[in-house]
Structure 1
Amino acid sequence: MTPPPGGAAFGGLLDDLPSGPLPDELFTTLAATPGVRIERILSTGQASPEGFWYDQAWDEFVLLVQGAAGLQIEGEGERVLGPGDWAMIPARTRHRVAWTDPDAPTVWLAVHIGEP
């Protein structure tokens, strides 16, 4: 949600979490300005498709708020992330989500910096 002109916007990252598995990850844009987009990502056991790598033209900061996930950076192997863990992924760094917790929602906060 983009704040209204001259006003503030409020919300909760842990509001409206699913009680069971989702068919796909759920991406919600929380705020956006030119060059920056902040989103909440909800995962319930999803992973990047086998052989798929993100290769973005912009930087991405991710914070794992709740749950657990395996994040793979090409050439660096897999890092297990838990609540409070974060990663700064520079533009053109190939990466993928190896797995997310299938038993409880995994909540990510992603900040896309320099996105067109």
Structure 2
Amino acid sequence: MARARIDEAVGLQTAREFAAVVGEKADTSALSRTTRATAVRYLLQALSDRAPGASVEVRIPPFGAVQCIEGPGHTRGTPPNVVEMDASSWVAIACGIETWHELVEAGRIHASGTRADEVARFLPLIRVNA
């Protein structure tokens, strides 16, 4: 069964709302959990649309995870290529506020596996004026 998709207009609106707070370096906990979750899941959906496949898993706990990027996939256990970060970091790179390199250098992205860095080729997913 296919996972329900987030409506484009709703996803863009919540991503922009979350990105505005991230861009101001404000406390994102003031946003509702629903707004944060919808924005993160919409941006994960956009990543899986742009980079279909199953060779890298991108995790944004506690909101979601997707497999993306063509190549050998995995079916059981921990995947060999994993990217994990918090929601604010994900929104920052997915919306072009910060770069992959900046967040890796700051220790805000945890990437393991030989293909994990390939995610950077597909970012940003959207541009916002934050």
TM-score by length of 1: 0.26
More strand by share: 1
Q: Tell which has more relative contact order, 1 or 2 (C-alpha 8 A, sep 6+).
A: 1
TM-score by length of 2: 0.24
More helix by share: 2
